[in-house]
Amino acid sequence: MTPDLPEANESLLSTVAAPAIWAAHFLLSYITAAVWCAKVAGADGSLVAVQRAISLYTVLALAAIGLIGWRAWGRHRLGDSPPPHDQDAPGGRHRFLGFAGALLSGLSALAVIFSALASLFFGSCR
Amino acid sequence: MIDADPTPLAEAPPLELQRAQAERLRRVWAAPTGWRYWSAVNNTQVGLWYIAVAFIFFLFAGVLALLMRIQLARPGNDFLSAELYNQTFTVHGSVMMFLFAIPIFEAIAVTLMPQMLGARDLPFPRLAAFGFWCFLIGGLFLSGAIFFDAAPRGGWFMYPPLTSRYQPGIGADIWLLGFSFIEVAAIASAVELIVGALKCRPPGMRINLIPLYVWYTMVGAVMIVFAFPPLIAGSMLLEIERAFDWPFFDATRGGDPLLWQHLFWLFGHPEVYIIFLPSIALVAMIVPTFARVPLRGYTWVVLAAIGTGFLSFGLWVHHMYTTGLPGISLGLFSAASTAVAIPTGVQFFCFIATLWAGRVKRSVPMLWVIGGLAVFVLGGLTGVMVALAPFDFQAHDTHFVVGHFHFVLIGGAIFPIIAGLYYFYPLVAGKLLSQKLGTVAFWLVFVGFNITFMPMHLSGLRGMPRRVFTYPPESGLDALNLASTIGAFILAAGIAVVLWDVVRPKKAQRVAPRDPWGAGTLEWVQEMPGEDWGIRSIPEIDSRYPLWDQPHLLRDIDEGRFYLPDAQEGLRETLVTSVIDAKPLQCLRLPGPSYLPLAAALTLGGFFIFGTFHLWALATGSLVASTGVICVWLWTGTAAKPTQATKDVGLGVVLPIDAAGPASVGWWAVFVTMLADVTAFICLVFGYFFFWTVHDDFPPSSSPGPGVLWPTVAAALLSASWLLTLLARRWNGRDRAGAFYGALGVAVLFEVAGSAALLAGPWSSGLQPTTHVYPALVWLLVGWTVLHVAVGVVMQLYCLLRRARGVLTAGHDLDLHNVVLYWHFTFFTAATTTAVIAGFPLVAR
Amino acid sequence: MSTKSAQPHLLTCARFALAFAVLPLGKGSTLEPAGLAADRVATLFWVLTIGATVIWLVVVGLALYAVSASRRPQSPRGSSLLIVGGGVIFPTVVLAGLLVWSLSMLPGLLAPAPAGSLEVRVTGYQWWWRVEYLGAEGATIELANELHLPVGEPVELQLESHDVIHSFWVPALGGKMDMIPGRRTRLRLEPTQVGVYRGVCAEYCGTSHALMSLVVVVEERQAWERWLAAQAQPATSPGEALFLEQGCGACHTIRGTAADGALGPDLTHVGSRASVGAGVIEADVPGLEQWLAKTAHLKPGVLMPSFGMLPPPELTALAQYLAGLR
């Protein structure tokens, strides 16, 4: 017995929330580094402060993506119906959006980790 | 309990009625005949023109490529002069990108998507026609230039200062203005596709049942909305520098050439995926058909499409690895550039899994699909190589990169498009293409392609930069280049075979059977040959592959047992449904044939073309004319007062004819368009802050700036006018005519005063835009805002007039909703502009 | 479309049958590295290429197997394993590894040469290179289109542009770096083998972008010092008067004479160079004669006017003078 799943409670935007967080993390990391090197530290300056900032962004971003992904995964697991979620019923649509959101969260988390990884290799603005 | 889906009529309507319905539908949707044929706006006509013209540009650019290959066949060749060679590669790249790759995506989508969605047409047929005419006019203008030795010669990415100060003549202007014109048209088509995919699906086609092609198309179209504005903004800056000497890219006056590279590649990298995703979408339709099973990993493919769409916006700096940016910037973009390979790869494994899950039927489309996969995967792997910054230091700007991106684009787009051509051709022409010719063409193209582009990787690594019209002998490059030239002609022979297969007379050939490949998706319900109505009645969808899963679907559609089987009122109609579950919401009346889109495209094209030649009077005249034409188009063609409030669309569903605000497709179109507009604006603001990071002293302490007073006055006036516009909508809704006229009238006055105040800022402090990039940027932001306010004034006057003429009423106020929406964005623009030009200097100093 | 160059042939006896000549100049392949950076990248290249080939064979092999008729259809579970294993886990692991490896290389490649290293400023022009050896106390030794480096020592290049964006690239020695007006970029090279290498402009920079080469001579420290000392000297050669009389000094400098123009390349020791015109033709008497007579033909768009109107004896005399500047 699946609960009532009205269309109004679903949103395409929440499905793409995780990649949007990746985008924010990515832009913020890039802008922080670029402004720091251009305006604060200079061309040979140290990047340790930026690395710390990016670590902080990363923790926040991963926490948010984790939360989104976890909730999306819950929607994907609703009821007892594995993919491909192709039922012509609110349940199928609900599970599909959950699964898509969960997969996008996974990809976004991976991309955030890649970015964070990249920042670890650079101790200076060179 | 949830309402069960309506089922088709249990009994077919009497034959007599069926015949009368079909006759009415046929008459309503018939293409105009004779000369009036060119006023057609239906997707079955416009889509066909669009595809044909895009393909002709492809052939043209391909011939240019052959000329280049002849020139490079041996070292020191003088087949083309240096100047002509430079024009040739510029035009080849630009035409392939802007006049083939993007338009063919939109053309195929405009043609196929209504069929896949069981819609009679997309929601804005005239907009699609307008997009096509803009594309045709701009394209002819651009490619014609090379016959007058006046073509652009700055390379397809047009780096200043080469293009701003070192290439006199109109070549660069043709590029900048011509492509801006075409990009506007491309955005128009993207708006049409997005709204169509979200709002015009058949009832029951929930978000989890959408054909994958539509997912990809939607992602591609959304990417256009965000990727094209940076290029339009950049082109505007570059053209203003060329025409009026505002020094955005001139280092001697504070400008910086790197700003162009940021803006260009912020467009340019997503562009590659905008080309790739809709092409691979064709593969996602072809593979299940021939594997005879539903696609495995549907959600994974959706993930791939959306994920790639996002990540591709984080790659732009990988075209700038060698510009001396800090290492950490290279690292971040290297990370995103490798990450994007994951979603790109996932979809290929879904396709392989699907093939593996079924019993594959050999066919020409599958041959092209598999060939394309082999080619693209190699391009993807070399893509990972150049994503790694150290390797790119060597490979960048060499023939290695030329080889790489031809593998990606030809494997990822040309092979799938030709596969799609062989697959979908019966839908368009009612006949099948030749299996024999298709196979011969494939092997010619596949072999020729590899002989052409494989050696380029090596010639690049052996030190051959791209865009060179010659190279030294005895350096290991001769044989490689000769091979590339020979391969290019084999490839061209293959394309010629495809061309012949398409144009050869097929009178004697019998009409293809319906659903000739045994596919499962909705576009194949089409009669052979197809009717202009698109679909006889709009079905209720229960499955991703309705033709496989829904019994009697064809019969029920053909006998008019579903929605909208008739056109009693003699009007073109289609259904509007909800975004997630595709519940029917509205019976949308669509406009019929008209010359207005053509006239609008001609006059707007006149503005850009006369502007290129600095014929300002004629350009202004054209702009005024096009504004007039567009106003007439809107007045006569949109938001007509419905003759009835509701309509019974069949199966007991009664839908409203009219909708306003977020319930209407027009509101969504304005919303998406304004997203693009505001993206361009943000790019200009980015430019302002970019210079803050480039210069130690920015805004320059020697410059007075626009001051605080006038921008503040402007902000206050424009905010007030925005609020008045909101109030006007509310008062109109309550049918308080006096208050409505008063509010909107005062708003217009405030806007005129606000614009004057905004201009007074930089004017009163004597900022000269030609002296330095800072005053140029201030004037630019001010000018952009004033232009938007001016357009807003025209819209408000339009609403005042509509109400006065009784077309706009309290209950029929869709125009006003859209104007308010426009004003939300314009308010944001004005507020940001004033905050930046007046506020930031206070913070920065 | 015109397929012939508009320039008439002024000299009937062309030494080159081909209209556009680019000299081979030296080794110019990234795959025969002769510098530290090029060497590292070549290693990266070979690993990537072998890996890419294997992956390509496996993926295309899988696809071909999947379309073949003689196999059992895969179960949904098998599909999931294929998609997750092949499409997610495998690429993630490989890409993460490659990313870490390449990123760990970057700081080393981007690091400046240690203080006290040789510093050279190279400025890009349409379509040639101004080369200035920066000595102590601001003393510079200027030449054009040729760079001599001592083997085994790091050198710091300061890269600038006079007009449009160029890109400095000596494939055998290391990666490229753009030269951007209004900015100064830098590049460290560390040649490891004696030899002559070809450099090119990698960023499209206008009409004769293809004809913008650079000779890099890597030699032993002593030979290099001798060469630099010679370059520092003013030059003399008989026939100077004709050079000055033709107004060449308005654009070109020949140290030790009245010619002190700064628009074009410094010609003080032009006779010692491998080529003129940034790699277009040999800097010997016949080569210089052709260069002077058909400048615009040999290098389309070049700023220097052709001197084909001079009587042949004068042309020869001028060429002899320049070739004598060694």
3-state SS, residue B20: helix
Tell me, what's the pLDDT at B479? 94
3-state SS, residue B655: strand
- State whether C252 and C206 are in the same domain: no
End-to-end alpha-carbon separation of chain B, Å? 65
| Torsion angle in degrees (nearest 10) through CA of A59, A63, A68, A74 | 140
Answer whether B595's CB lies under 8 Å from B133's CB. Answer: no
Tell me, what's the pLDDT at A3? 61
The pTM (predicted TM-score) of the whole model is 0.95
Tell me, what's the pLDDT at B679? 97
Q: What is the mean pLDDT of residues B657-675?
A: 93
Total domains present in chain C: 3
Report if residue C26 sits inside a domain.
Answer: no
Of A106, A112, A110, nearest to A21 (Cα)? A112
Q: What is the mean pLDDT of residues B739-747?
A: 97
How many other CB atoms are found less than 10 A from the CB of residue B352? 27
| A63–C contact, CB cutoff 8 A | no
How confident is the model over C270-285, as pLDDT tens digits?
999 999 999 999 999 9
Give residue limits of the domains in chain B: 29-503, 691-844
Tell me, what's the pLDDT at A6? 84
ipTM value, please give it: 0.96
Tell me the C-alpha distance between B565 and B647, whole Å.
Answer: 13
Report if residue C6 sits inside a domain.
Answer: no
Q: What is the mean pLDDT of residues B29-52?
A: 93
How confident is the model over B399-451, as pLDDT tens digits?
999 999 999 999 999 999 999 999 999 999 999 999 999 999 999 999 999 99
Q: pLDDT > 90: what percent of chain B?
A: 92
Chain C residues inside the 8 Å CB shell of B331: 103, 106
Output the average pLDDT for chain B: 94
Option in C67, C71, C177 nearest B366 (CB): C67
End-to-end alpha-carbon separation of chain A, Å? 61
| Torsion angle in degrees (nearest 10) through CA of B396, B400, B402, B406 | -130
| B580–A contact, CB cutoff 8 A | yes
Q: Is A8 exposed, middle or buried (0-12, 13-18, 19+ CB in 10 A)?
A: exposed
Option in B342, B541, B578 nearest A110 (CB): B342
Question: Which residue has tokens 């994920």?
Answer: B307
- State whether C73 and C165 are in the same domain: no
Option in B5, B307, B328 nearest A104 (CB): B307
| A126–C contact, CB cutoff 8 A | yes
Chain B residues inside the 8 Å CB shell of C6: 81
A118, C103: Cβ pair inside 8 Å?
yes
Q: pLDDT > 70: what percent of chain B?
A: 99
- State whether C78 and C103 are in the same domain: yes
Tell me, what's the pLDDT at A50? 95
How confident is the model over B457-476, as pLDDT tens digits?
999 999 999 999 999 987 78
Closest CA–CA distance from residue A68 to any residue of chain B (Å):
15
Tell me the C-alpha distance between A38 and B692, whole Å.
Answer: 9
How confident is the model over B516-542, as pLDDT tens digits?
999 999 999 999 888 889 899 999 999
Chain A residues inside the 8 Å CB shell of B2: 4, 89-90
How confident is the model over B818-832, as pLDDT tens digits?
999 999 999 999 999
Give the confidence band of B759 by pLDDT, cuts at 50, 70, 90.
very high
Tell me the C-alpha distance between C80 and C67, whole Å.
Answer: 18
Option in B80, B86, B252 nearest C3 (CB): B80
Chain C residues inside the 8 Å CB shell of B474: 24
Give the confidence band of B666 by pLDDT, cuts at 50, 70, 90.
very high
Distances (CA, A) of B627 to B596, B630, B791: 12, 5, 10
| B549–A contact, CB cutoff 8 A | no
Of B139, B58, B269, B119, nearest to B577 (Cα)? B119
> How many Å separate Cα C246 from the centre of its chain?
31
Question: From edge to edge, which strands make up the β-sheet containing C155-161?
Answer: C140-144, C128-134, C118-125, C155-161, C185-189
CATH number of the domain that residue C191 is part of: 2.60.40.420
Chain A residues inside the 8 Å CB shell of B209: 86, 88
Closest CA–CA distance from residue A42 to any residue of chain C (Å):
14
Option in A85, A93, A125 nearest B326 (CB): A125
Report if residue C15 sits inside a domain.
Answer: no
Per-residue b/e over B284-316, b at no fewer than 16 CB within 10 Å? bbbbbbbbbbbbbbbbbbbbbbbbbbbbbbbbb
Closest CA–CA distance from residue A1 to any residue of chain C (Å):
26
Geometric angle at alpha carbon B142, from B141 and B146, rounded to 5°: 105
Geometric angle at alpha carbon C76, from C72 and C79, rounded to 5°: 80
Give the confidence band of B229 by pLDDT, cuts at 50, 70, 90.
very high
Among A85-89, B330-334, B342-346, C104-108, the minimum mean pLDDT is found in: A85-89
Instruction: Report DSSP state, residue C273.
Output: S
| C95–B contact, CB cutoff 8 A | yes
pLDDT at residue B166 above 90?
yes
> How many Å separate Cα B739 from the centre of its chain?
41
A117, C99: Cβ pair inside 8 Å?
yes
Closest CA–CA distance from residue A96 to any residue of chain B (Å):
6
- State whether C102 and C129 are in the same domain: no
| C199, amino acid identity | G
Which is the CATH superfamily of the domain at B691-844?
A: Cytochrome c oxidase, subunit III, four-helix bundle (1.20.120.80)
3-state SS string over B130-191? HHHHHHHHHHHHHHHHHHHCCCCCCCCCCCCCHHHHCCCCCHHHHHHHHHHHHHHHHHHHHH
Tell me the two tokens of residue B560: 């008019």
Chain B residues inside the 8 Å CB shell of A125: 326-328
Closest CA–CA distance from residue A63 to any residue of chain B (Å):
19
Option in A110, A121, A126 nearest C103 (CB): A121
Option in A114, A123, A124 nearest C99 (CB): A114
Tell me the two tokens of residue B105: 């995506």
Option in A16, A95, A115 nearest B306 (CB): A16
Answer whether B417's CB lies under 8 Å from B382's CB. Answer: no
Chain B residues inside the 8 Å CB shell of A114: 335-336, 338-339
Tell me, what's the pLDDT at C8? 37
C97: nearest CA partner in chain B: B338
Question: What is chain A's length?
Answer: 126
Answer whether B292's CB lies under 8 Å from B518's CB. Answer: yes
What DSSP string describes B765-822? TT--TTT-HHHHHHHHHHHHHHHHHHHHHHHHHHHHHHHHTTSS-SS--HHHHHHHHH
| B509, amino acid identity | Q
* Structural domain ending residue among the three candidates C232, C253, C273: C232
Tell me the C-alpha distance between B374 and B407, whole Å.
Answer: 10
Question: Which residue has tokens 């016949």?
Answer: C286
**Spatial CB neighbours of A114, under 8 Å, sequence gap ≥ 6:** B335, B336, B338, B339, C95, C96, C99
| Widest Cα–Cα separation across chain B | 85
Chain B residues inside the 8 Å CB shell of A117: 335
B-contacting chains (≥3 CB pairs under 8 Å): A, C
Q: For residue C53, give its domain range.
A: 36-110
Closest CA–CA distance from residue C169 to any residue of chain A (Å):
20
How confident is the model over B245-272, as pLDDT tens digits?
999 999 999 999 999 999 999 999 999 9
Chain B residues inside the 8 Å CB shell of C25: 472
Tell me, what's the pLDDT at A86? 84
Note which residues in 313-332 of chain B have CB less than 8 A from chain A. Answer: 313-314, 317, 326-329, 331-332
- State whether C249 and C271 are in the same domain: yes
pLDDT at residue B576 above 50?
yes
Chain A residues inside the 8 Å CB shell of B578: 7
A96, B314: Cβ pair inside 8 Å?
no
Question: What is chain B's length?
Answer: 845
Of B184, B115, B8, nearest to B424 (Cα)? B115
A-contacting chains (≥3 CB pairs under 8 Å): B, C
Closest CA–CA distance from residue A58 to any residue of chain C (Å):
17
pLDDT at residue C70 above 90?
no
A117, C96: Cβ pair inside 8 Å?
yes
- State whether C286 and C206 are in the same domain: no
| A34–C contact, CB cutoff 8 A | no
* Structural domain ending residue among the three candidates C61, C86, C110: C110
A39: nearest CA partner in chain B: B693
Of B342, B341, B306, nearest to A104 (Cα)? B306
Output the average pLDDT for chain C: 91
End-to-end alpha-carbon separation of chain C, Å? 44
C165, B77: Cβ pair inside 8 Å?
no
Tell me the C-alpha distance between B516 and C314, whole Å.
Answer: 80
How many other CB atoms are found less than 10 A from the CB of residue B820? 21
Question: Which residue has tokens 């051709």?
Answer: B425
Q: Do β-strands C118-125 and C155-161 pair in parallel, antiparallel, or remain unpaired?
A: parallel
Tell me the C-alpha distance between B263 and B183, whole Å.
Answer: 15
- Consecutive 10-residue averages of pLDDT for chain A (126 residues): 73 91 96 93 89 96 97 86 83 92 96 95 90
Tell me the C-alpha distance between B190 and B228, whole Å.
Answer: 11
CB pairs under 8 A between A and C: 22
3-state SS, residue A95: helix
CB pairs under 8 A between A and B: 146
Give kind and range of the element (H or E) at residue B761: helix B737-764
C87: nearest CA partner in chain A: A107
Give kind and range of the element (H or E) at residue B826: helix B814-834
Closest CA–CA distance from residue C259 to any residue of chain A (Å):
39
Tell me the C-alpha distance between B409 and C159, whole Å.
Answer: 34
A26, B314: Cβ pair inside 8 Å?
yes
Instruction: Report DSSP state, residue A56.
Output: H
Closest CA–CA distance from residue B350 to any residue of chain C (Å):
6
Backbone angles phi, psi at B9, to 5 degrees: -55, 135
* Structural domain ending residue among the three candidates C167, C197, C232: C232
Report if residue C30 sits inside a domain.
Answer: no
Note which residues in 224-263 of chain C have CB less than 8 A from chain B. Answer: none
Distances (CA, A) of B443 to B353, B436, C323: 25, 11, 56
Fold agreement (B29-503, B691-844) = no
C112, A126: Cβ pair inside 8 Å?
yes
How many other CB atoms are found less than 10 A from the CB of residue B448? 20
B390, C16: Cβ pair inside 8 Å?
no
pLDDT at residue C231 above 90?
yes
| B310–A contact, CB cutoff 8 A | yes
- State whether C128 and C195 are in the same domain: yes
Tell me, what's the pLDDT at B1? 35
Tell me, what's the pLDDT at C253? 95
| A121–C contact, CB cutoff 8 A | yes
Q: Which fold would CATH assign to domain B29-503?
A: Cytochrome C Oxidase; Chain A (1.20.210)
Q: Is B207 exposed, middle or buried (0-12, 13-18, 19+ CB in 10 A)?
A: buried
